[in-house]
Amino acid sequence: MSFDVQLKRMPGNEDVELPRKMSELASGFDLYAAVTQDIRLQPGERFLVPTGIAIAMPAGLEAQIRPRSGLALKHGITCLNTPGTIDADYRGEIKVLLINLGQEAFTITRNERIAQMVFQTVPVVNLLTVDELSDTERGAGGFGHTGTK
């Protein structure tokens, strides 16, 4: 499957790298930090990092903002709301909510690769309100109902 997605730079970010796949078959386009000054994230702190870009994708797609495993492993840096959801009708700047779960301060610099954006198809679902749901063997059982072995 292939889709065309429009990409726009936010004003003042001409020097910020555009999202890029770092290998031929990578799932995600890496996103670059468009911070205007270095941001020092202390342990436990979070920061909404601008990326300098906005996108427009067709209905039936979404974009997920996911952490980079290298930053998570080496520095404890991850996305607080992972996976972040970019709705198909969102036209604002894409932002990445980073949190420092490591033990040391971490500095976010302009043009650093901070996260990745993965596109997914989303089925169009019509929710139908009813009085009774269809029967199943499981019924309302859940949360460990089937045991552990």
Ligand X SMILES: O=c1ccn([C@H]2C[C@H](O)[C@@H](COP(=O)(O)OP(=O)(O)OP(=O)(O)O)O2)c(=O)[nH]1
* Annotated binding-site ranges for substrate: 68-70, 81, 85-87
Smallest separation, CB 65 to ligand X (Å): 4
Residue 10 binds ligand X (CB under 6 A)? no
Cβ 119 to ligand X shortest distance, Å: 13
Q: Least CB distance from residue 40 to ligand X, whole Å?
A: 21
Q: Which residue is nearest to ligand X (CB)?
A: 84
Query: What stretch of H or E contains 134?
Result: none
Question: Residue 74 corresponds to which tokens in the numbers above?
Answer: 């080496």
Cα angle 51-96-98, degrees, rounded to a multiple of 5? 130
Which residues, 65 to 94, sit near ligand X by CB under 6 A?
65, 81, 84-87, 90, 94
Which CB atom, from 72 or from 90, has the smaller least distance to ligand X?
Answer: 90
Enumerate residues 27-56 that contact ligand X by CB under 6 A.
Answer: none
Specify the 3-state DSSP secondary structure of 75: helix
User: H helices of the chain, where?
Assistant: 69-75
Beta-strand ranges (E) seen in the chain are 6-9, 29-32, 39-41, 46-50, 53-56, 61-66, 77-79, 84-86, 95-100, 106-108, 113-121
CB of 85 to ligand X, least distance (A): 4
Q: What residues form DSSP beta bridges with 113?
A: 32
- 46, 75, 95, 113: which one binds ligand X (CB under 6 A): 95
Binding site for ligand X (CB under 6 A): 65, 81, 84-87, 90, 94-97
